[in-house]
Chains A and B, each alone.
Chain A
Amino acid sequence: MAYSDKVIEHYENPRNVGTLDKNDDHVGTGLVGAPACGDVMRLQIRVNDDGVIEDAKFKTFGCGSAIASSSLATEWIKGKTLDEAAEIKNETIAKELNLPPVKIHCSVLAEDAIKSAIDDFRKKQASRREGNT
C-alpha cells in the first residue's frame, strides 16, 4: 500500500495526541469503531462558554490512514463552533489526505468521531441544565 505524503506526514507527526479529562463538564468524548474491526478512534473536545472548540485531542488504534484522518480532524475542529465542526464531512478529509477507496472508511470514522464527541458534550450540557432546574 502506497500512502500519500499527507498521510505519512500526519502519521509521523500526529497533531493533538492525548487525553482530556472525560469527566470535565466542558469536555466531550467520542469513541468510535471496534477493536475487532481493526480501528478505534477516541476524539475529545474541550468547549468554552461561547460554544467554541478550544482544544481537541485524539488517540487512534488503526492503520496509518486512520491515524492521519483523526489527526487532521482534531486540527480542523480546533477554533470552530460546534455547529461548524459538525459540518465537516468525510469526503473533505478523504480528499485532503488523498485516501484511496479502500481507506475511505477511515475518514468516515473520523467524521463519526467528531459527531460523537459533539453529541457527548451536548448531552452533558443538557443533563447539567436539567440538574440545575
Chain B
Amino acid sequence: MAIKLPIYLDYHATTPMDRRVLDEMLPYFTEDFGNAASRTHAFGWKAESAVGVARERIAKMINADKPEEIIFTSGATESDNLALKGIAEFYGDKGKHIITSRIEHKAILDSGKRLEKMGFEVTYLDVDKQGFVDPAHVRAAIRPDTILCSVMLANNEVGTVQPIREIGAVCREKGVLFHTDAVQGIGRIEFDVQSMNVDLASITAHKMYGPKGVGALYVRRSKPRVRLVSQMDGGGHERGYRSGTLNVPGIVGFGKAAEIITHEWRDEAARVSRLRDSLYKKITAELDEVFVNGPWPAIDSSGKVLRLPNNLNISFAYVEGESILMSLKNVSVSSGSACTSASLEPSYVLRALGVEEELAHTSIRFGLGRFTTEEEIEYAANLTVSSIKRLRDLSPLYEMAKEGIDLKSIAWTAH
C-alpha cells in the first residue's frame, strides 16, 4: 500500500478530527445554529439540548458525578487559568499557598507566576529522572495555608504518567483541593475523577480527535464542593463560572469525541502502544547511543502504565535536533532542541528531568495516535535510522566519541 506523505507523528500537539465527530457537528453550523442561551424558541432549545448531551458524554468519560460539573471553556489553557486563578481568588482568604510541579504546561506555570505577583506563594516540586512527582513530596510540601495542588495527569513531552491517584489521596486527606491538567492522558490512559480524588480537571477537545477551540474544566460539586471565581465577566453562562456564548458545534463535537473515547480508548491504547514499541525496537536495533527520555520500559513489572502509550521521546547523541527534523521532512515530529523553540532555550521539561543540555539538543518526540498505521511507523523508523546515520557521519562529536575522546574533557567555547 502506498503511504500518504507527510506522515503525522505529533499527536501531542494536536490530533486530526475523527470523521464521526465532524459528521455530528455539521448540522449545528447551519440548520441548528441556535444560541444555547436563547430560552424563548426552538432554535435555542435544540442547541441547549445538544450541549446537554455533550456535557453528559464528557462527564461519563471521566466518571464525573453530574453533568453540571463540566464547565465549557475555549480550551485547556483557559481551563488551567480558570482553575488556578479562580481557586486562588475564591480561597485566597483561607490561604495563599499553591503546589505544582516543574514540568507542568506553561498555562499552569505562568498562571502560577501571575499569582506569585499577586501575593500567592507557589511551590514547584522537582521531578525525578523519569519525570515523576513523588506523592511524599506533595505531602511534605503541604502547609496549613495550602489551598490547591495542581499536577498534570501525563506529560506532553516525555509521556510520564503521574501517580495521580496517590497524589489525590494525599490532597484529600489533607483537605487541599487537587487539580490536574488531564489533556495528554485523556483517551490514552485511565482517568477517573472519583477513584483518583480529583477535584478539578482541565481537558481539551482537539487532543482527543475533536475540534480546536473548545475545552472544559471539571469542577467537583460535592464532597468537597469546589467553588471558584469566574475570570470572564458577562452573561453568566455556565452557572456563572464562564460567561460567553457557547460554541455549540464545538461542544457537540467534543461530546462525540468523548463518547468514542469512552468506548474505544482501551483497544486504541493497546494498538498504539504496540506501534510505539515497534518504532523503539526498529530504531534501537540499528543505532547505538540513543537514550529514551522519560520512563522506559513504559509499563512496570506489575503492569502499571508509566508512560503514555503513544509517546516516544529519544535523544540521538551527537546529532542536533533541528537538523534531524530537517532530515525527517516527510515525518512531522517535534524536538526539545533549543533551535526549535521560540526562546532558543532547550526544553525545560528535559532539563527538569536532569537530561544534560548536550542530550536535550538531540531529542526528538514521536507522538502516535488513532490514525497511525504500521506502514507509517515502518517508514518513519527507516527514515530516522538513515537520517541519524548520515548526520552522525557529519558530526565531529560522533567521530571524537568513537575515537574514545571524552567530550567532557574538552574546553568548549560556550557562545
The docked-state distance in angstroms from the alpha carbon of A122 to that of B375 is 55
Query: Which of A17, A34, A38, A66 has the most chain B CB within a 10 Å cutoff?
Result: A38
Please name all residues of chain A whose beta carbon is closer than 8 Å to the beta carbon of B346 when the two chains form the complex: 38
Please name all residues of chain B whose beta carbon is closer than 8 Å to the beta carbon of A105 when the two chains form the complex: 415
Convert A27-69 into 0s and 1s, putting 1 for each residue whose CB lies closer than 8 angstroms to a CB of B.
0000111111111111000000000000000011111101100
**Interface contact A37-B395, CB-CB below 8 Å:** no
Convert A79-118 into 0s and 1s, putting 1 for each residue whose CB lies closer than 8 angstroms to a CB of B.
0000000000000000000000010010011001000000
Contact of A37 among B321, B323, B398, B415 (CB under 8 A): B415
Please name all residues of chain A whose beta carbon is closer than 8 Å to the beta carbon of B320 when the two chains form the complex: 38-39, 61-63, 66
**Interface contact A40-B412, CB-CB below 8 Å:** yes
Please name all residues of chain B whose beta carbon is closer than 8 Å to the beta carbon of A14 when the two chains form the complex: 394
Contact of A33 among B322, B323, B337, B415 (CB under 8 A): B415
**Interface contact B323-A67, CB-CB below 8 Å:** yes
List CB contacts (< 8 Å) of A1-47 with chain B: 1, 3, 8, 11, 14, 17, 19, 31-42
**Interface contact A38-B326, CB-CB below 8 Å:** no
Q: How far is the CB of B385 from chain A (nearest CB, A)?
A: 18
**Interface contact A102-B396, CB-CB below 8 Å:** no
Q: How far is the CB of A13 from chain B (nearest CB, A)?
A: 12
The stretch of B30-38, B155-163, B226-234, B353-361 in contact with A is B353-361
**Interface contact B412-A61, CB-CB below 8 Å:** no
**Interface contact B393-A63, CB-CB below 8 Å:** no
Given A34-B414, A35-B361, A102-B344, the answer on whether A61 and B396 have CB atoms closer than 8 Å is yes
Contact of B394 among A17, A37, A102 (CB under 8 A): A17
Please name all residues of chain B whose beta carbon is closer than 8 Å to the beta carbon of A108 when the two chains form the complex: 415
B320 closest partner in A (C-beta): A62
Q: How far is the CB of B154 from chain A (nearest CB, A)?
A: 27
Q: How far is the CB of A20 from chain B (nearest CB, A)?
A: 12
**Interface contact B399-A59, CB-CB below 8 Å:** yes
Given A35-B407, A38-B339, the answer on whether A1 and B397 have CB atoms closer than 8 Å is no
**Interface contact B396-A38, CB-CB below 8 Å:** no
The docked-state distance in angstroms from the alpha carbon of A102 to that of B339 is 9
Please name all residues of chain B whose beta carbon is closer than 8 Å to the beta carbon of A60 when the two chains form the complex: 394-396
Convert B396-415 into 0s and 1s, putting 1 for each residue whose CB lies closer than 8 angstroms to a CB of A.
11110000000100101111
- Give the interface size bracket for B toward A: 20 to 34
List CB contacts (< 8 Å) of B375-403 with chain A: 393-399
Contact of A62 among B323, B413, B414 (CB under 8 A): B323
The docked-state distance in angstroms from the alpha carbon of A59 to that of B397 is 9
Q: Does B63 contact A (CB under 8 A)?
A: no
Please name all residues of chain A whose beta carbon is closer than 8 Å to the beta carbon of B322 when the two chains form the complex: 1, 63-64
Q: How far is the CB of B378 from chain A (nearest CB, A)?
A: 23
The docked-state distance in angstroms from the alpha carbon of A15 to that of B318 is 20
A108 closest partner in B (C-beta): B415
Please name all residues of chain B whose beta carbon is closer than 8 Å to the beta carbon of A38 when the two chains form the complex: 320-321, 337-339, 346, 357, 361
Please name all residues of chain B whose beta carbon is closer than 8 Å to the beta carbon of A39 when the two chains form the complex: 320
Given A1-B322, A102-B344, the answer on whether A37 and B393 have CB atoms closer than 8 Å is no
**Interface contact A59-B395, CB-CB below 8 Å:** yes
Q: Does B319 contact A (CB under 8 A)?
A: yes
Given A38-B337, A38-B361, A102-B344, the answer on whether A59 and B356 have CB atoms closer than 8 Å is no
Q: How far is the CB of B317 from chain A (nearest CB, A)?
A: 9
**Interface contact A59-B394, CB-CB below 8 Å:** yes
Please name all residues of chain B whose beta carbon is closer than 8 Å to the beta carbon of A11 when the two chains form the complex: 323, 326
Given A63-B339, A64-B323, A66-B320, the answer on whether A36 and B358 have CB atoms closer than 8 Å is yes
The docked-state distance in angstroms from the alpha carbon of A11 to that of B326 is 9
The docked-state distance in angstroms from the alpha carbon of A60 to that of B399 is 11
Please name all residues of chain A whose beta carbon is closer than 8 Å to the beta carbon of B394 when the two chains form the complex: 14, 17, 59-61, 67
The docked-state distance in angstroms from the alpha carbon of A34 to that of B414 is 5
The docked-state distance in angstroms from the alpha carbon of A62 to that of B358 is 11
**Interface contact A63-B323, CB-CB below 8 Å:** yes
Q: How far is the CB of A37 from chain B (nearest CB, A)?
A: 6
B317 closest partner in A (C-beta): A35
Please name all residues of chain A whose beta carbon is closer than 8 Å to the beta carbon of B410 when the two chains form the complex: 31
Q: What are 22 A-B contacts defined by CB distance under 8 Å?
A: A1-B322, A1-B340, A8-B326, A14-B394, A17-B394, A33-B412, A33-B415, A34-B415, A35-B357, A35-B407, A36-B356, A36-B358, A36-B361, A37-B338, A40-B396, A59-B394, A59-B395, A59-B399, A62-B320, A63-B337, A67-B394, A108-B415
A interface with B by C-beta (< 8 Å): 1, 3, 8, 11, 14, 17, 19, 31-42, 59-64, 66-67, 102, 105, 108-109, 112
Additional A-B contacts beyond A19-B399, A38-B337 (8; CB < 8 A): A14-B394, A36-B358, A37-B338, A37-B357, A38-B357, A61-B320, A61-B395, A63-B326
Closest 10 CB pairs of A and B: A34-B412, A42-B396, A63-B322, A59-B396, A36-B357, A35-B358, A38-B361, A64-B326, A63-B339, A61-B395
